[in-house]
Amino acid sequence: MLIKIAAKNALSENDVTDESVYMDRRSLLTRMGFLGAGALLSTPSQAGIFDLFGGEEPEEVALAKLQYQAAAADPQTLTPENKVISHNNFYEFGTKKTQPQQMARGFVTDPWQLTVNGMVNKPLTLDYQQLHKRLPLQERIYRLRCVEAWSMVIPWVGFPLADLIRQADPTSKAKYVAFKTLYDPEQMPGQSSRFMGGGIDYPYVEGLRIDEAMNPLAFLAVGLYGKALPGQNGAPIRLIVPWKYGFKSIKSIVAIELTDKQPPTTWNILAPDEYGFYANVNPAVDHPRWSQASERRITTGGLLADNRIATLPFNGYADEVAHLYKNMDLRKHF
Amino acid sequence: MLKVIIHLCALWPLVWLYTQAFNDGLGADPVKYVIHFTGIGALNILLITLCISPIAKYFRQGYLLNVRRLLGLYVFFYACLHLTNFIVFDLQFDWPLLWGEIIERPYITVGMAALLLLLALSVTSPMAIRKRMGANWQKLHNWIYLVVLLVCTHFIWSVKSDITEPLIYFAMAFVLLWFRKDKAWRFIKFFGKHRKPQNGIKTTPKS
């Protein structure tokens, strides 16, 4: 019990990273970049010839502070907030890691509608307010392992996916849960332009088996670092399945459908030999173009700070989820 | 004077890059940033190098030909930094992993092949060696046309899904190869005479 009390004292991770300081520093560096080699090199972003289009500096956006039960203290070093919100794979807002922060700036998430339907007895529709109010919010500090072999440690705020699904009361026929991202080409430039959206057929879709979805680790996040999610991180609500590669954790969800068939999933459609339906983090099964045996953990600091560490089966959550796949060949069902 | 400008243009970005990288000024993933920056940098300089001969010929500016060696050496330098960044900051000296990646990942195999060719061109670049090699020197250095195709292939195979940018680079490479299509054709025929076509070589007839 004593430990838990100490944990509550340590709840203020959101104070660790002072957003305004980080934002100021970033814009300062941006301006320095322009004065110095900026004319040639543009601002910090992925190096490339399209950098010419990405020179705007992100403005500070006021995100609502959330009320939630804080997570217990975690010995892992958190990835600083400014890195969590500036390094995103969200192709709806551009395929470069830094693009979503810029392109998602005016993203309107209120009003919002999230439906839970399909093979359920009580279909639900949640509006923006209900995303924050319907279920009590809690904080979860999870490792996020990208299929590209980098990882972060992020304090999310949200509620267990199972709690929401239970409210909809699935029928006995429901075997899978299908998720869908908002389709709004006017707001999401990646959806209106093949060049910006990386050749994906939108809307982005994902899916879980129902026992995966009901696992207590599966989480719907509405915030991170104590505040509502920024657009680039999947506002206003996104999935987090920490034992699977990041692309399973679908962003900006508008529909959750209970179904009896394995639903299609976006990356699996695009490249079935590279991305499977399950996509459990597995150091023993390489991606065809890179090893998955280890990963670079993105933490505080520059070039020398990101340490390569061994990747763990199920991203280190084997105790909680390995039983879900007991009799499965995970080399085949990658 | 021209060479001084080339030195400055090639070295200043690197000073900027590593200053920013060590001071956490390159966004969330400085490792990928420095790898991509030096890789794209090498390819950019390579394309500039290939522009020199057509420009010198068309505008009758023969003195330009003198900077090709310097530019070529900077291509090799940037490519070395590209690999060094990968080994030091990404793999963090995990040599078995490096070896595995070179063998198992086609895009890295192709990249390493291009780097080895650049090494061969670089060590034979001093005037003394060039003189001693005679006609063979030019034959060896024609391999730069293969290098540019290998590098573009390395780029396109390395990206996850958005291939627009590598395709633009391919287009630029083909345009530059088109200027020396006769020479490239002789190069292919020379190759066909001496060796059966192998992997990678098959792609050259397209140029």
Q: Residues of A with CB below 8 A from B41's CB?
A: 47
Q: Indicate whether B200 belongs to any domain.
A: no
Q: Which two tokens stand for residue A8?
A: 């509550």
In terms of Cα–Cα distance, which of A224, A217, A252, A255 is closest to A238? Answer: A252
Whether A191 contacts A183, CB under 8 Å = yes
| The pLDDT value given to residue A299 | 86
pLDDT at A281 over 80: yes
Q: Indicate whether B34 belongs to any domain.
A: yes
In order of their start, the domains of chain A are 76-325 (3.90.420.10)
More confident residue, A69 or A52: A69
Is the CB of residue A301 less than 8 Å away from at least one CB of chain B? yes
Minimum distance, in Å, between the CA of residue B159 and any CA atom of chain A: 10
Lowest mean pLDDT among A28-32, A175-179, A273-277, B189-193: A28-32
Q: Indicate whether B159 belongs to any domain.
A: yes
A200 → closest Cβ in B31, B158, B161 = B161
Q: How many domains does chain B have?
A: 1
What pLDDT digit, counting tens, does each position of B46-63 carry? Answer: 999 999 999 999 999 888
Q: Indicate whether B48 belongs to any domain.
A: yes
Judged by DSSP in three states, A69 sits in: strand
Q: Which residues contact B120 (CB under 8 A, 6 or more apart)?
A: B140, B143
| The pLDDT value given to residue B62 | 87
Q: If pLDDT is split at 50, 70 and 90, which confidence band does B107 have?
A: very high
More confident residue, A190 or B183: A190
- Candidates A232, A289, A298: best to mutate against B (most CBs of B within 10 A) is A289
In terms of Cα–Cα distance, which of B164, B146, B124, B160 is closest to B202? Answer: B146
More confident residue, B179 or A31: B179
Q: Looking at chain A from residue 262 to 291, which residues have their Cβ under 8 Å from any Cβ of chain B?
A: 270-271, 286, 288-291
CB atoms A303 and B30 under 8 Å: yes
Is the CB of residue A86 less than 8 Å away from at least one CB of chain B? yes
Minimum distance, in Å, between the CA of residue A199 and any CA atom of chain B: 7
Minimum distance, in Å, between the CA of residue A195 and any CA atom of chain B: 7
Q: Residues of A with CB below 8 A from B33's CB?
A: 44, 46-47
Q: Looking at chain B from residue 96 to 125, which residues have their Cβ under 8 Å from any Cβ of chain A?
A: 97, 100-101, 104-105, 107
| The pLDDT value given to residue A129 | 95
- Candidates A17, A40, A46, A86: best to mutate against B (most CBs of B within 10 A) is A46
Q: Indicate whether B54 belongs to any domain.
A: yes
What pLDDT digit, counting tens, does each position of B133-175 carry? Answer: 999 999 999 999 999 999 999 999 998 777 889 999 999 999 9
State the Cα–Cα distance between residues A333 and A271, nearest whole angstrom. 15
Q: Indicate whether B197 belongs to any domain.
A: no
CB atoms B30 and A306 under 8 Å: yes
Q: Indicate whether B53 belongs to any domain.
A: yes
**DSSP letter, residue A34:** I
A47 → closest Cβ in B18, B33, B107 = B33
- Candidates A303, A304, A306, A311: best to mutate against B (most CBs of B within 10 A) is A303
Q: Name the residue range of residue B121's domain.
A: 2-192
Residue pairs spanning A and B at CB distance below 8 A: 118
- What does the buried/exposed string (b/e) look like for A246-280 if buried means 16 or more CB atoms within 10 Å of the residue's CB? bbbbbbbbbbbbbbeeebebbbbeeeeeebbbbbb
